[in-house]
């Protein structure tokens, strides 16, 4: 246990030194370069977010289609083409626009937590 605490302390000290060095280098770096890096990072995040959202929507569409088809077959609406909207609403699947907004919030939460 003592060795783990010592190692943790050593790692924290190293981290602090690296952060100090980073701050120093950031002060030396021209603002244009930092701004360019920030823009590149933001573009990369937007690209990953778009792919992640499309993937999640596709997965949810497959799931909702399977659920809706199964539910409609059980309820007898399959041949009439009725009930899909009602079933979708009951299942809380919502419209694609609502789903996209929800997924954007979920993506941001995961990004903030470091889950992505």
- Per-run averaged pLDDT (10 residues), the chain, 116 residues: 94 97 94 94 93 86 63 52 44 63 86 80
Judge whether 83 and 75 are in contact, CB under 8 Å: yes
Domain count for the chain, please give it: 1
H helices present in the chain, as ranges: 2-28, 31-75, 84-90, 96-113
Q: What is the pTM of this model?
A: 0.51
How far apart (Å, rounded) are the C-alpha atoms in residues 33 and 35? 5
pLDDT confidence of residue 103? 85
DSSP helix/strand/coil, 82: coil
Q: Say what the pLDDT of residue 11 is.
A: 97
What pLDDT is stored for residue 88 in this prediction? 44
Q: Residue 21 and residue 106: Cα distance in Å, rounded? A: 34
Separation in Å, CA 92 to CA 14, 27, 29 = 49, 50, 50
Query: Residue 112's pLDDT is what?
Result: 85
Q: Residue 107 CB: number of other CB atoms within 10 A?
A: 19
Which domain range does residue 59 map to? 2-113
User: What is the model's pLDDT at position 110?
Assistant: 84
């Amino acid at each position: 246990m003592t060795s783990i605490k010592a190692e943790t302390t050593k790692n924290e000290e190293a981290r602090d030194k690296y952060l100090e060095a980073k701050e120093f280098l950031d002060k030396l770096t021209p603002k244009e370069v930092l701004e360019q890096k920030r823009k590149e990072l933001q573009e990369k995040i937007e690209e990953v977010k778009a792919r992640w959202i499309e993937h999640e929507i596709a997965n949810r569409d497959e799931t909702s289609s399977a659920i809706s088809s199964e539910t409609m077959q059980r309820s007898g609406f399959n041949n009439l083409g009725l009930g899909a909207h009602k079933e979708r609403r009951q299942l809380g699947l919502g419209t694609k626009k609502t789903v996209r907004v929800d997924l954007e919030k979920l993506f941001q939460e995961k990004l903030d937590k470091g889950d992505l």
